[in-house]
Each structure stands twice: as C-alpha cells, then as structure tokens.
Structure 1
Amino acid sequence: MALVQPERMASGNSAKSQGRRKGGLFKDLSRDKYLYLLALPGILFFLIFKFVPMWGVVISFQNYSPFAGITGSEWVGFEHFQRFFSNPDFMLLFRNTMAINLLSLILFFPLPIVLSLLLNELRSVMYQRIVQSIVYMPHFLSWVIISGLTFLLFAKGEGLVNKLLEGVGLARVDFLTNPDTFWLMLTVQSIWKECGWGTILFLAAMASIDPGVYEAAKIDGAGRLRQMWSITLPAIRNVIITLLILRLGHMLDVGFEQVFLMYNGAVSQVAEVFDTYVYRVGIQQGEFSYSTAAGLFKSVVGLALVVLSNWIAKKMGEEGVY
C-alpha cells in the first residue's frame, strides 16, 4: 500500500493539472472571445490557402495525371527531382534567382532602415506624416502599373529618359533589352515601390524608445548622429535581425509578376528564374509534377535558410524569430 499510494497521488495530481490546463484554456477562450473572433478570418485564410494546399506537394513524387488524381497517379519517388537537378537550366535559374535576391539584399534591405532613421529625425509631426504618406503610396500600385511606367520612362524609342538624353546631345540607352542592366532595373523598381512601406515596422520600434534616453544623451553632449548610432539603432536591432532572417527565407523566391512583366526575349538569359520557370513548365507545358518538384525545392531551401540564420542569430546572443 505504501508503494501504491504515491502512484495514485501522482496520477491524481496529473489529472488535476490537466483539468486546470483545460479549464484555463476554455477560460481564456471565453474571456478573449472577441479577440479570437477578430483573428478568425486570418486563421481561416492561412488554413485554407497555406496549410491545406500543402497536401499538393505529394504530386512532386508522382507522375500526376489530372484524370487519375492524387490517389490514382503513379508513384515515382525522386525521379522529378533528379531530372530537375540534372537539367542544364538549373544552374541558370539558380544564378539568376540568387543574383537578383543578393542585389536586393545589399541595395534594398538597408534603405528602409535609413529612411526610417531620417523620418524619425523630423521634428514637425505634420511634415513627417506628409512624407510618410508620399513614400507609402507606391506600395499600393500594382506591378502592371509600375511596369507600364517603366516602359514609358525607359523605352529606347519613346521613353522620357531617352528623349531627355537625346535633348542634351547624348546617345539613347537601351535600358529594357540590355541584359547587363536588367537585374539593376528590377532592384530599382522594388526600391521605389516597397522602400517606404518597409519603414512601418522600424518606425513603430522607434516610437517605443523612451524620450528620456535622448534627453540624457543630449546632456552628455551627444549630437544627433551619435544618438542615432548609440540609441536608435540598438533599439531596433531585434527588428532588423528578425526581418533579415525572414528575408533570407525568400532567397530563392523572386516576385513572379514583376519579372514576368519585364521579361522579353533579349533578356531571357538573365530573366529566367525559378518562378517563371515553374509557370512556363508547369502551367504552359502541363508538367505538373516536375514543376511542383521545382517549387518544393525552393520551399525546402527557404526553410533551411531561416532555420540556419535563426540558429546563428541565437548563437550571437540575439532573440531570433523563434
């Protein structure tokens, strides 16, 4: 009996703790029901459009036939992956995708931080809001409009930029069909469209800094640049690292719509990326399993980069994403 009794007590305590956890969960749901109801559309969106479609990656291991369906298609294992990696186009796709993303990471990623620091230094609240509204606006324009504006500005024949160059006696420049400038053109488009929108999180982080810290720095003789370097940047460091980790997860993901709209035969060797390749092979040629294997490769590499970069951030003493 002396041996049995502690076991009964332990099992009883375990059941009570489980009951309390269940009761606490229902209590939290009841107390915050309106918050959960507010989050319900977002939860449903991710369940329906993100998690449920993940079942479709099974077809990358099959010779998928729309008539046989997923359950009736022939299982071929890693055949499509082997075909994809041995394809001569693979290295071309990898080079173009990585080059565009590295250029964006080097030139585009720091600019929202710099712009946020400059906006934070504005002392007039009204002027700050006006500038913020102006730099936010391009985010709401579709890539179709931005591509159209790019053609109107940089077309060799009727583009405004080339007309201005010709007006001052300079030769016209072929911006849109020059493979040497295509990657830079995409980066400039992304900067113009998303740089202002990217400042939102950084400005929110800066708003949480105690103004008393700046006052103390002024008393110690710190100028504006020193305050920016020693107070503002350290305060938003966690946000910068988190966004950098998430950005690294998209290193093989280039915006399909942007590249597709700017694509032309003259720049095909530098414009073909994984996204356009999946569309061309999977949708236009009907090779669903093969293109799904290419898309799954992108996702696995992105996940590995997020996990690796988060691990490195943790080792360096940062918070990381999780």
Structure 2
Amino acid sequence: MKHSTEVPSVASMSGILSRYSSSRLWRQIIKGRYIYLLAMPGFLFLFLFKFVPMWGLLLAFQEYNPFKGLMGSQWVGLKHFTDLLNDANFYRMLRNTLLINLFGLIFYFPIPIFLALMVNEVRHEFFKKINQSIVYMPHFLSWVIIASMTFFILSTDIGIVNKLFTSFGIAPIPFLTQSQFFWGLITGQTIWKEAGWGTIIFLAAIAGVDPQRYEAAVVDGASRFRQIWHITLPAIRPTIVVLLILRLGHMADVGFEQILLMMNPLVREVGEVFDTYAYTQGILRGKFSIGVSIGLFKGLVGLVFVVSANYIVKKLGYEGIY
C-alpha cells in the first residue's frame, strides 16, 4: 500500500487558511451580534452623513454649474484656493476665526474641568443631580434663543443692563454694536451654553478613579484639595489631553449660527469668519465651489493643528490620540 507523500501546494494552504479565518470571523460576529447591532446606527450615520457626502469635495476643483452637473462642470484645479488666499478679506477672516477660538480655548476649555471637579465633590446625591440638571439645561437651547436673550439683556434701548445703568445716571453702553465687545460676547455665550454639557466626559473619567486611592489619601491626612490635586487631576489628565487635541482640530471652525445671529454691519470687521463667508458666497450668491473650497481649507487647517498638537503632546511624554 502506497502512502501519499505529496506536500499541499501554497495555493491550497492559502485557501484553507482563508476559509478558517472567514469562519472564525463569522463566529466572532455571531457571538457579539448584539454589540454590533447596538453600534450599527452609529456606523450608518458615519457612512451616510460623513463618508458618502465626501464626493462633493470635487466641487472645490471645479467651476460648478448646477445645470451641467458634477461631470459636466469645468475643472479649474486650485483656482478657488488661490482666489481665497488672495482675497482682501482672507487675513481678516483668519484673524477673527483663530482669535475667537483662542478665546474659547483659554476661557471656555478649563471651565468644564472645574465644574466637573466641583460637582464630583458634592456628597448629597439628590442635590448633585439637581446641579447637574441645571448646568446641562442651556445646552438644549437653540442659538436663536441665546441670541434673543442676549439682545434683551444687553441692547441699548430695552436691555436690562442698560436700564440699570440709566437708573443710576450712567449712559447706556452699546454692547452689541461696538467691536471691542464682540469676541467677549461670543465667548461668554459659549461658556454659558456649553460649559455644563462639557462636564459629562470629565465626570465619566473621574468616576473611573479607584476609590481606594482616596481612602489611602484620607488615612495619610490629605485634605480635599490635596486629593483633587494629586489624585483626581492626574487621573483625568489623559482625557484632558485628548479633548484638548480634538479641540485644536476645530481652530478654523466657529459656530456659524451663533456668529450669524450676533453679527451686524457695525461689528463685521471683527465678526466675519470663514463660515459666514462660505454662507455668503456659497448659498446667497450661488458660488457653490467657493463654499466647498473654504470648507476643505478649514479641514486642512484643523488637520495641521491636530497633527502638530499630537506631536508636541507625545514629545512631552503624554499619550496622544494616535
């Protein structure tokens, strides 16, 4: 009786491994089917609203004509980007966009951390939940309501603040029409609306701190401030770093609705940003290609900030986002 001494070919071995890997993958998918089902809406949202619309970036390299369509429009290469860089308003928009975001980075970003630390120190559970609900509520108000509230508080004729000034013999101050107040108003609105909502991630990070570390600190006689400084803050430092890097990725992006509602001709010099310019050119004037090129330019600026910040953070010894 002869025994076969043939060695399986590379192709057959590859097929066997491929079938084994495929069956193993399907077993894993079936095993975790409920987790994948739970994540499916998020994946569908990303695919439909983030990846599918990316074909529209081609408009930035065309003189897009809606009647001719994407394939029939004339290709112009980098013309819209050079026109944007040579625009007389470009550096003014760049200055306004970066400074508004810089104000937010300096004055807004630390506040959710501080609020999260303060809320975490509240020991009465019911009172803690009440405080959380109060600071979360402004997030659910639209910018139209926020702008209206600002008008009724700070306007010259019917504003509550100026009425108080008048009652004390002080001349009304035109907060809404003087350029020196504009960036402060935008930053103040953002803090009031979003600071409470921003505490959610930090509170989740604080909840993951090992309670035994606090118990050991109490045994050593550490005060509440010492516990926050030496235990809580170092524990949530990775979360702070990651959120800081992601925040830098939006340095070229300013809330369009907020700026549009708060801007008027008297403050346009400090209020015109890339978002409002894209709206004016792309929507109001029908220059869709210019609007898309501005959006792509903003994305590239954000990418530069993220990569640079991640590189610096890693050089400082912290863990970046990739």
Question: TM-score with structure 1 length normalisation?
Answer: 0.94
CA distance in 2, matches of 1:195, 1:177: 26
Partner of 1:79: 79
Partner of 1:182: 182
- One-letter code aligned to 2:316: M
**1:203 equivalenced with 2:217 (yes/no):** no
Partner of 1:111: 111
CA distance in 1, matches of 2:298, 2:6: 54
Secondary structure of 1:317 counterpart: coil
Distance change in 2, residues 1:12/1:294 (3 Å): same
Partner of 1:292: 292
For structure 1, the residue ranges without an aligned partner over 5 or more in a row are none
Distance change in 2, residues 1:228/1:17 (3 Å): farther
CA distance in 2, matches of 1:245, 1:86: 30
CA distance in 2, matches of 1:104, 1:225: 26
Overall identity of the aligned pairs, in %: 52
Distance change in 2, residues 1:33/1:89 (3 Å): same
Secondary structure of 1:320 counterpart: coil
Partner of 1:268: 268
CA distance in 1, matches of 2:145, 2:239: 31
CA distance in 1, matches of 2:294, 2:172: 40
Offset of 1:169 from its aligned partner? Answer: 2.7
Offset of 1:34 from its aligned partner? Answer: 2.1
Offset of 1:312 from its aligned partner? Answer: 2.3
CA distance in 1, matches of 2:199, 2:6: 59
Offset of 1:49 from its aligned partner? Answer: 1.1
Q: After superposing the two structures, state which structure 1 stretch, 130-139 or 43-52, moved more.
A: 43-52
Aligned-pair Cα RMSD in Å: 1.8
Partner of 2:56: 56
CA distance in 1, matches of 2:107, 2:24: 49
CA distance in 2, matches of 1:11, 1:304: 45
- One-letter code aligned to 2:114: V
Offset of 1:120 from its aligned partner? Answer: 0.9
The correspondence of residues 93-132 of structure 1 with structure 2, limited to 5 A, is 93-132=93-132
Partner of 1:156: 156
CA distance in 2, matches of 1:116, 1:195: 10
- Deviation per CA, 1:60-102: give whole Å up to 9, x if none: 1111111111111111111111111011110010000001000
**1:249 equivalenced with 2:249 (yes/no):** yes
Offset of 1:246 from its aligned partner? Answer: 0.6
Q: After superposing the two structures, state which structure 1 stretch, 279-288 or 23-32, moved more.
A: 23-32
- One-letter code aligned to 2:225: L
Partner of 1:320: 320
- One-letter code aligned to 1:264: N
Distance change in 2, residues 1:6/1:310 (3 Å): farther
Distance change in 2, residues 1:9/1:313 (3 Å): farther
4+ residue stretches of structure 1 with deviation over 4 A? Answer: 5-17
Q: After superposing the two structures, state which structure 1 stretch, 222-231 or 17-26, moved more.
A: 17-26
CA distance in 1, matches of 2:47, 2:304: 22
